[in-house]
Amino acid sequence: EAGVTQFPSHSVIEKGQTVTLRCDPISGHDNLYWYRRVMGKEIKFLLHFVKESKQDESGMPNNRFLAERTGGTYSTLKVQPAELEDSGVYFCASSQDTGTLYNEQFFGPGTRLTVL
Amino acid sequence: AQSVTQLGSHVSVSEGALVLLRCNYSSSVPPYLFWYVQYPNQGLQLLLKYTSAATLVKGINGFEAEFKKSETSFHLTKPSAHMSDAAEYFCAVSDHSAWGGGGNKLTFGTGTQLKVEL
């Protein structure tokens, strides 16, 4: 079974440009998460989808970030316009809803975003 | 609010030596705790988890961790390091108190880079 995939693996853009990151979760996983790691710092939660609905977007840094999950399958995270401080590694994770308190999150390899 | 502190951003051990990576947490509810490992160019992989069952948790690749409530710690250990253990390790706590729809966002520490020397 394929794991969580993310595209692109690397993106280098200039300040002010737009970038769209994509995440394909494991098939059948209703929960999808986005996290971000700025260099040298901790991995921080951005938001959580349950199917196509945003369950928790408390970690989104500002309104330059827009996440979507149309149809409850893959998700995109758009940054517009990008700023220097948006550079980092963006991770996506997915989990199944097992009806229990704990559902293991499976992570993708991340997208390394560099804003120049 | 929950938080995780990992002491030591870089740890170096000799092959065959004990590995000890430290993690302390803060949580307003009984925590679920995790250790993840990231190898170069790969995603985070779950090593082990504590979800309120046995306090000594065994994971993959010979790693284990002990939940100590009195010390608010969840340190990761391995008796004998192998070259293949060189990676970055992350401790995390889950906000399962806000569970809804099966979700449980993770709060991570800053990570510890483990180097294994011959």
Examine the pLDDT at B10 and tell me if it is beyond 70. Answer: yes
Examine the pLDDT at B101 and tell me if it is beyond 70. Answer: no
pLDDT tens-digit profile of A72-114?
899 999 999 999 999 999 999 999 887 776 788 999 999 999 9
C-beta atoms of B103 and A55 within 8 A: yes
For residues A94 and A8, give the distance between their C-alpha atoms in angstroms, rounded to a whole number. Answer: 18
Residue of B nearest to A47 (CA): B105
Under a CB-based contact definition with an 8 Å cutoff, are residues A5 and A24 in contact? Answer: yes
Element containing residue A114 per DSSP (H, E): strand A111-115
C-beta atoms of B43 and A3 within 8 A: yes
**Residue from the list B98, B103, B109 with its beta carbon closest to the beta carbon of A42:** B109
pLDDT tens-digit profile of B57-76?
999 999 999 999 999 999 99
pLDDT tens-digit profile of A28-59?
999 999 999 998 899 999 999 999 999 999 99
pLDDT at A1: 66
Please state, in angstroms and as integers, the Cα–Cα distance from residue A24 to each residue in A3, A69, B40, following that order.
9, 10, 21
C-beta atoms of A50 and B102 within 8 A: yes
Residue A10 identity? H
Separation in Å, CA of B107 to nearest CA in chain A:
7
